[in-house]
A and B are shown apart, each in its own frame.
Chain A
Amino acid sequence: MIEVNSLKKVFGDTTVLESIDFSVEKGEVVCLVGPSGSGKTTLLRCLNLLETPDGGTVTIGKKTMAFDGSGRVKKRDVNDMRTYTGMVFQGFHLFPHRTVMENIIEAPLTVQGRNRAELVREGEELLGKVGMLEHKDKYPDALSGGQQQRAAIARALMMQPEVMLFDEPTSALDPQTVGEVLRVMESLASEGLTMVIVTHEMNFARRVADKVLFMDGGYIVESGTPADVLENPKEARTREFLQLLEE
């Protein structure tokens, strides 16, 4: 489903991603973990081209793109690539001037030109699934962080992506609403949705991930099953990081 080869990303003089190789199979859940500044979020954003990589290739679904470091990409290619992915942001980024229902049907309506009544039906079903149906006519400002994030997940799902990208989806939440968002994500995983998740929730990664990538300093230091990486890390840096989290 996803194939990344020798991916590179530079911001000015600093290299934030270097020779990144990994792949994600259909239906797999992959968690990216590591200290802040390690490049996890940048890697995720390279997958839907919110950042343009400076080298390497990325394949998602049937679309492959190679990057030559010029920073130039064709709009057409970017669009093709994005049809495969949906993204959930740390800060939700719902459209504040639209209700929950309007938020989730906005893109299918304007981008795909689909029928409104049909979308509303689909939307109600999806909102039911993430436990947001009763809030469908509220504006984001009237919702808690956890509710907003669940609505944002539904909004991304409405475009029927083959891969969902989560960028620290619970980091901006109050502790008491983290659980409701993780539960929604877990149920999506159990339905076989392919997901790539940047997270600091190690227990969630242990329980849900098929694969964990530990990143530090722009490299993938270690990867494997949660048991391998999180319980019996081989690399010293992974051990240090996990120890710090426990303290």
Chain B
Amino acid sequence: MIEWFRDIQWEHLFDPELAWESLPFLMQGLQITMLIALAGMVFSLLLGLVLAMGRMSKYRLLRWPARMYISFMRGTPLLVFLFILYYGLPVIGVQFPSAIVAGIVGISMNFAAYSAEVIRSAIMSVPRGQWESAASLQMNYWQTMRRVIIPQATRIALPPTTNIFLDIVKGTSLVSVITVHELLYSSRLVAAQSWDAMTMYITAALIYWAVCVVISYFQERLEVRYSRYLSKR
């Protein structure tokens, strides 16, 4: 045990010089990562909203497909879904214009399922009395949704939505497997060239972390803003 520990070559843990020199190259990868992540956030949220509406609809014809979709996406690995899109679809003659597009589509479609459940539960957690008082004031369904329910649901949905966003950022690393030159892919290239996988993957991890810290910061800011109507207790 002790020998095993003594044999660790700590001097190879992290090579700051290599990390620094490869940073510009990694930043190019980060741009693609951010492109996919931001597009994934926007589209998964939009599709999630549609799915949540379907899931809450009074019509079975809308409720059932939404339910099936959510069940399938939550019950299958994102990586498998990406493989289906990128390697599977060409077999039946469907091809994405680029691997990046396939990645964005896959991530958006997959995370939309989680987003739908967050949106649905947030909307359902707004008390029924809010619907009733709005109805007694002659507000219709959409006026009530837009002016009364969604603003309150947004505050409730904020922390879990941030979690999804963090998962999306980290999930983009999976598209490196379908040949997208994003952050992890770039790190792997340098790692192969420099024979220093440790430094390169630690650097990649730190960059992902930094991005997530920024997102968490925005969440805190928004949470304060959306909670300003509550007394500080």
Task: Point out residues on A near B: beta carbons under 8 Å.
Answer: 48, 50, 75, 79, 82-83, 85-87, 89, 91, 93-98, 106-107, 110-111, 139-142, 152, 155-156, 159
Contacts and interface: CB of A to CB of B under 8 A. Distances in A.
B231 A141 contact: yes
B147 interface: yes
Interface in B120-173: 127, 129-130, 132-140, 143, 147-148, 151-152, 155
A121 to B, nearest CB: 19
Contact of A139 (B129, B136, B140, B230): B230
Given A96-B152, A141-B230, A106 B132 contact: no
A165 B143 CA distance: 23
Contacts of B139: 106-107, 110-111
Nearest to B233: A141
A110 B133 CA distance: 14
B138 A93 contact: no
Nearest to A155: B137
B229 interface: yes
B129 A93 contact: yes
Contacts of B130: 93, 95
B229 A141 contact: yes
B156 to A, nearest CB: 11
Contacts of A140: 229
Given A79-B138, A85-B136, A95-B133, 17 more contacts: A50-B135, A50-B136, A83-B138, A86-B136, A86-B137, A87-B136, A94-B133, A95-B130, A95-B134, A107-B137, A111-B138, A139-B230, A140-B229, A141-B229, A141-B231, A156-B137, A159-B137
B147 A110 contact: yes
Nearest to A86: B136
B133 A111 contact: no
Number of chain B interface residues as a range: 20 to 34
A89 B132 CA distance: 9
Contacts of B151: 97
Given A89-B129, A106-B147, A110-B143, A97 B136 contact: no
- Judged by DSSP, the binding face of B is helix
A92 B164 CA distance: 35
A137 B151 CA distance: 18
Interface centre among A82, A85, A89, A97 (most CB of B within 10 A): A97
A89 B147 contact: no
Interface of B: 127, 129-130, 132-140, 143, 147-148, 151-152, 155, 228-231
Contacts of B152: 96-97
Contacts of B129: 89, 91, 93
Contact of A82 (B138, B143, B147, B230): B138
B218 to A, nearest CB: 20
Contacts of B132: 50, 89, 93
Contacts of A86: 136-137
B139 to A, nearest CB: 6
Contacts of B229: 96-98, 139-141
A45 to B, nearest CB: 9
Contact of B133 (A83, A85, A87): A87
Given A110-B143, A111-B143, A95 B136 contact: no
Contacts of A111: 137-140, 143
Contacts of A95: 130, 133-134, 148
Nearest to B155: A97
A139 B147 CA distance: 16
Contacts of B127: 93
16 contacts: A75-B140, A79-B138, A83-B138, A87-B136, A93-B129, A95-B134, A97-B155, A97-B229, A106-B137, A106-B139, A107-B137, A107-B139, A111-B137, A111-B139, A111-B140, A142-B231
A91 B127 CA distance: 11
A214 to B, nearest CB: 25
Shortest 8 CB-CB contacts between residues of A and residues of B: A107-B137, A93-B133, A93-B129, A87-B136, A139-B229, A141-B231, A111-B138, A97-B151
A140 B228 CA distance: 12
B225 to A, nearest CB: 11
A140 B230 CA distance: 8
A130 B171 CA distance: 56
